[in-house]
Structure 1
């Protein structure tokens, strides 16, 4: 096992997931239902399955698409999603600030 890759994947995903929608969803579910263990286990299983699918499909895609293209595609998708969220959220924020 390549421990360098293991820890690089761990830290990159750990830092990327801090404060994201998944963590906020788990936080909200625990505050709503006050049952942290089943929520933790369900969320953990979901993350394991999603990560497994990403690894399997990522490995398959690299056979046909060079990594540099994947980086550019991922970057464009992230920028696109960010722009979409800004366009969707800014009017709501401005409306709330106008009321405040």
Structure 2
């Protein structure tokens, strides 16, 4: 395993997930006194693992048809558009 790549991905995803809608929804579920905190943790973890697996599969599939360089441009443009839309509609 390439630990540099592992840590880069871990830190990137960890920072991206802090304070996002997923974390806020998880906190709201955990705030319910009648709900098991382990259930919230396991369900949220499983959902993140599944969504990450889908991302890996789609990324792998796309990279067989599209050059990785162009996928990075596309992802960057997507983030810029989402950011611009968020700023405009705020």
**TM-score normalised by L of structure 2:** 0.84
Q: For the pair shown, which has the larger CA radius of gyration, 1 or 2? A: 1
CA RMSD in angstroms comes to 1.5
Unpaired runs of at least 5, structure 1: 90-100
Q: Does residue 57 of structure 1 match 2:58?
A: yes
Aligned length: 88
Q: Describe how 1:1-100 pairs up with structure 2 within 5 A.
A: 1-31=1-31, 33-34=32-33, 35=35, 36-89=37-90
Cα deviation for residue 61 of structure 1 reads 0.9
Cα deviation for residue 73 of structure 1 reads 1.0
Q: What secondary structure, in the 3-state scheme, does the structure 1 residue paired with 2:65 have?
A: coil
Cα deviation for residue 21 of structure 1 reads 1.4
Moved more, 2-11 or 55-64: 2-11
**TM-score normalised by L of structure 1:** 0.76
Structure 2 Cα separation of the partners of residues 12 and 37 of structure 1? 25
Greater than 3 Å deviation, 4+ residue runs: none
